[in-house]
């Protein structure tokens, strides 16, 4: 029997076989190189404050491209290198980075810090593209970095493939003037319920940076595992890191690895916010050190997903020695100004005990030179002026926090908890707060979410990704994308300019780039991904 018949089965009629064989032998059309393709300026996510596309010729990135910068600023050079790596053609000379020359030579990309005497919003940028040159100006290196992220979305998606690119890179002419709405555009990753290694966290950082996000909050401890080396309390990792939900091997970051993550994020203008959750969510610590328990008996490690059963012994002095050591060691590795103390879901303490504990721990954090952040349960406790409250429970009252002058981060669980399933079919995730489709994540306004909370008290938004049900970067990507793009836009774009239909269309235009990057994103039926 012929190969074709064996493969297709005995019942294939002979006529059909002839047609199939003829087609297989027909000469193929010559492979044509991809035509030079120019992206639209109207597809940028998050939506810029102002976009003015122009008619005219594109800017062509040719061999020998120069990226021109003012000398003497390492962060600006870092941004130029990031851009160079993005546009470098494999197997061709790298674009040059040159010290500023005047006038700017034709065919170059010019990055410059704006004159400090002209006031501009922090992290803002202005980008002008003509067929002659690209100029990007910002008041700070972060703004330049965000301008480069905009440039990235104006380059062909195929650029993201690591293979050689046989076509020119073209940028559409026009002007973008842009600035973020909120200072806090955050994501939180729970590395405690399941552990994610340095490689996975760096990948997450790369994806956040692309969306102009600027905070990554790491939930470093919980009942199921302790994830950062503390040299003065070594059993936290020798014992407390070896578990995770479902009984997997767990893991932890050495202090060197944590410092490496902090530096990697910083080079992408992302501040790491470390969280040690307390007094609850502490079974891993309690299991590692019997003296932290009121009865002096260490509980067994925990690999389930219940919450609220554990608490540090708030009446013992050793508890505060422990906290001071932990906070001091982590603070020393963390250049960012924040330290998250958790404070959520404590079911075994009286209100009085809880409030006294939160009061004392904020002072420890302040002595280590950091501003404390806590989940919204801390609102009724005495708060230091610098303390930030993170809203998460859809019904939680925030008047307490606002009256005390606290700044707020908004993470409403029924809108931007990325561990919520999209719908009943979603194979991973939880649904205690809601099913959260892309539109639910996008279609609300931070300024009107909670009554009587003025916009000036809102630092911004943050999307937590709890990891009870997820185990690797593919799961992270599936739950985070596309909803992270919605969160980025809530945090970045002016309220009056954005709407669901516009977002939906711009989101669809991201699909090719995300696919080229290998992102395992959820193809929500709410978005027409073919565009
Ligand atoms: C609530 S949000 C928690 C977490 C869980 C999460 C699951 C918060 C402060 N506490 O401990 O992982 O729900 O969605």
Catalytic one of 63, 345, 437, 477: 345
Q: Which atom of ligand 1 is nearest to the CA of 190?
A: 12
**339 CB near ligand 1 (under 6 Å):** no
Protein residue with its CA nearest to atom 12 in ligand 1: 466
Give mean pLDDT in consecutive 10-residue pieces for the chain, a chain of 531 residues: 37 46 46 63 97 96 90 95 89 85 88 92 98 97 98 92 73 98 98 98 98 98 98 98 97 98 98 98 98 98 96 98 98 98 96 98 98 97 97 88 94 98 98 98 94 90 98 97 98 96 97 95 95 56
Other C-beta atoms lying within 10 Å of the C-beta of residue 25: 7
Give the Cα separation of 15 and 19 in Å (integer). 6
**417 CB near ligand 1 (under 6 Å):** yes
Give the Cα separation of 46 and 212 in Å (integer). 8
**430 CB near ligand 1 (under 6 Å):** yes
Protein residue with its CA nearest to atom 2 in ligand 1: 392
Q: 444 alpha carbon to ligand 1 midpoint, in Å?
A: 21
CATH fold for the domain made of 184-517: TIM Barrel (3.20.20)
Give the residue extent of every domain in the chain.
1-32, 41-178, 184-517
Give the Cα separation of 411 and 422 in Å (integer). 17
Protein residue with its CA nearest to atom 4 in ligand 1: 466
3-state secondary structure 164-208: CCCCCEEECCEEEEECCCCCEEEEEEECCCCCCCHHHHHHHHHHH
Give the Cα separation of 274 and 262 in Å (integer). 10
- Residue 36: per-residue pLDDT: 55
- Residue 8: per-residue pLDDT: 38
Q: Which atom of ligand 1 is nearest to the CA of 375?
A: 9
Q: Is 244 among the residues known to form the active site?
A: no
Give the Cα separation of 366 and 411 in Å (integer). 24
Q: Beta 50-53 vs 174-178: how paired, if at all?
A: antiparallel
Give the Cα separation of 24 and 43 in Å (integer). 40
Closest CA to 418 of 442, 396, 446, 447: 442
**Which CATH number describes the domain made up of 41-178?**
3.30.379.10
Mutate to test the pocket of ligand 1, among 466, 469, 479 (most ligand atoms within 8 A of CB): 466
Q: Which atom of ligand 1 is nearest to the CA of 342?
A: 9
Q: 466 alpha carbon to ligand 1 midpoint, in Å?
A: 7
Going by C-beta distance under 8 Å and a sequence separation of 6 or more, which residues neighbour residue 202? Answer: 261, 264
Q: Beta 109-113 vs 66-69: how paired, if at all?
A: parallel
Taking the alpha carbons at both ends of the chain, their separation in whole angstroms is 45
């Amino acid at each position: 029997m012929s190969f074709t018949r064996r493969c297709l089965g005995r019942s294939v009629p002979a006529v059909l076989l002839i047609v199939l064989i003829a087609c297989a032998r027909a000469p193929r059309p010559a492979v044509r190189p991809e035509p030079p393709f120019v992206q639209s300026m109207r597809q940028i996510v998050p939506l810029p404050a102002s976009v003015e596309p122009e008619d005219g010729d594109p800017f062509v990135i040719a061999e020998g491209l120069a990226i021109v910068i003012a000398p003497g600023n390492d962060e600006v050079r870092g941004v130029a290198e990031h851009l160079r790596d993005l546009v470098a053609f494999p197997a061709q000379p790298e674009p040059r980075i040159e010290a500023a020359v005047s006038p700017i030579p034709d065919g170059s990309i010019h990055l410059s810090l704006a004159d400090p005497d002209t006031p501009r919003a922090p992290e803002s940028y202005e980008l002008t593209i003509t067929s002659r040159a690209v100029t990007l100006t910002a008041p700070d290196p972060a703004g330049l970095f965000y301008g480069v992220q905009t440039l990235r979305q104006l380059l062909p998606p195929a650029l993201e493939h690591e293979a050689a690119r046989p076509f020119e890179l073209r940028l559409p002419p026009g002007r973008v003037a842009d600035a973020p709405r909120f200072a806090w555009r955050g994501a939180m990753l729970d590395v405690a319920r399941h552990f994610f290694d340095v490689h996975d966290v760096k990948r997450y950082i790369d994806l956040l940076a692309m969306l102009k996000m600027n905070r990554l909050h790491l939930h470093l401890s919980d009942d199921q595992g302790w994830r950062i080396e503390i040299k003065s309390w070594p059993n936290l990792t020798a014992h407390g890191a070896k578990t995770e939900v479902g009984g997997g091997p767990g893991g932890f970051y050495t202090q060197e690895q944590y410092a490496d993550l902090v530096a990697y994020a910083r080079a992408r203008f992302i501040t790491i916010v470390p969280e040690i959750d307390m007094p609850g969510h502490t079974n891993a610590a309690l299991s590692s050190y019997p003296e932290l328990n009121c009865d002096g008996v260490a509980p067994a490690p925990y690999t389930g997903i219940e919450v609220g059963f554990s608490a540090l012994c708030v009446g013992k002095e050793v508890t505060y020695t422990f906290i001071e050591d932990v906070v001091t060691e982590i603070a020393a590795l963390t250049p960012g100004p924040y330290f998250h103390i958790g404070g959520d879901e404590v079911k075994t303490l009286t209100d009085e005990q809880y409030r006294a504990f939160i009061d004392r721990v904020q002072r420890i954090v302040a002595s280590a030179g950091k501003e404390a952040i806590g989940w919204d349960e801390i609102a009724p406790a005495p708060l230091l002026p610098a303390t930030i409250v993170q809203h998460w429970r859809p019904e939680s009252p925030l008047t307490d926090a606002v009256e005390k002058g606290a700044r707020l981060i908004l993470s409403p669980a029924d809108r931007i908890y990325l561990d919520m399933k999209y719908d009943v079919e979603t194979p991973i995730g939880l649904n205690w707060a809601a099913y959260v489709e892309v539109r639910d994540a996008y279609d609300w306004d931070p300024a009107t979410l909670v009554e009587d909370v003025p916009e000036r008290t809102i630092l911004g938004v943050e999307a937590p990704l709890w990891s009870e049900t997820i185990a690797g970067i593919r799961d992270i990507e599936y739950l985070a994308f596309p909803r992270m793009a919605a969160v980025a836009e809530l945090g970045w774009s002016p309220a009056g300019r954005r709407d669901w239909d516009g977002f939906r269309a711009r989101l669809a235009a991201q699909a090719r780039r995300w696919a080229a990057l290998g992102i395992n994103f959820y193809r929500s039926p709410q978005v027409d991904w073919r565009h």
